[in-house]
A = this chain, B = another copy of it.
Amino acid sequence: MVIEDTRASDGRIPGRRGLATRQRLLDCTEHLLSAMSFRDIKVIDVARKAKTSPATFYQYFPDIESAVLALAEATNLDTTELGGLVRGADWRGKKGYESALQLADAFIEFWERHRATIRVADLLVAEGDMRFQAIRTRLLNDLALALGEVIAKTRTGAKLSSSRRLATAGVLVAMMANVTTHRFTYEFWGIRTADLRASMADIIYTSVSGKAAPAS
């Protein structure tokens, strides 16, 4: 599952040279990805850039999507660092609001750092590609779980079912992901990122602590 399937199209297991070619194709794909829109990248472009032929590409990947998938999996993209931040933070009182701001910042930074990969993943999820659906779920999984745990620990008064806590955590993650992805749309619309950050922190804080956010 986690181990990449590097088998060639004919079922053989590639040797040294084959793996090198495969890697070269991946590198070229990555390079093109950062230079042009994913939808415009053709198999023939990758092949040309790797100084080989389309047929060779098909030897190692059934299609461009699969190459990108291998790339995304190699990055081992996940939110355990954000989950750690959430679990380690203090969520009560004034400190809690600080934690919410920190999470908003860390999330924006994380998203920005992996922007290129996430953009493609989002696109392919929108197209209904289940493989990327899975990648995205795994990507956000740890953060959602961490938020769920923290909600359970902090809001002991409210009788929230486990399922309800997970739902809230999921909604928070969805919010952060969507706002951050469309950040520049908002900027264009006259909303500054600083304000988005503060609004997100308010919502995070309230959802985790059950209390209204302190006046800023």
Within 8 A of B (CB), among A29-76: 37, 39
The quantity of this chain's copies bound in the complex is: 2
User: Interface majority SS on A: helix, strand, loop or mixed?
Assistant: helix
Decide: B186 and A170 in contact? CB cutoff 8 A.
yes
Contact of A198 with B123 at beta-carbon distance under 8 Å, contacts A174-B175, A174-B179, A203-B207 already known:
no
B-chain residues with CB within 8 Å of residue A192 when the two chains form the complex: 163, 167
Contacting B at CB under 8 A, from A179-216, are 179, 182, 185-186, 189-192, 195-196, 198-200, 202-203, 206-207, 210-212, 215
Q: A123-B127, A137-B185, A212-B212 are in contact. List 15 more A-B contacts (CB 8 A).
A: A37-B128, A39-B127, A122-B126, A123-B123, A137-B189, A158-B215, A161-B195, A168-B199, A170-B186, A170-B191, A171-B175, A175-B203, A206-B207, A206-B212, A211-B212
A168→B202 contact, CB < 8 A: yes
Given contacts A127-B123, A203-B207, whether A195 and B174 have CB atoms under 8 Å apart is no
6 intermolecular pairs with C-beta atoms under 8 Å apart? A122-B126, A170-B186, A171-B200, A175-B178, A175-B203, A177-B178
Contact between chains at A198 and B159 (CB < 8 Å)? no
How would residues 92 to 129 of chain A score, 1 for a CB under 8 Å from any chain B CB and 0 otherwise? Answer: 00000000000000000000000000010011001110
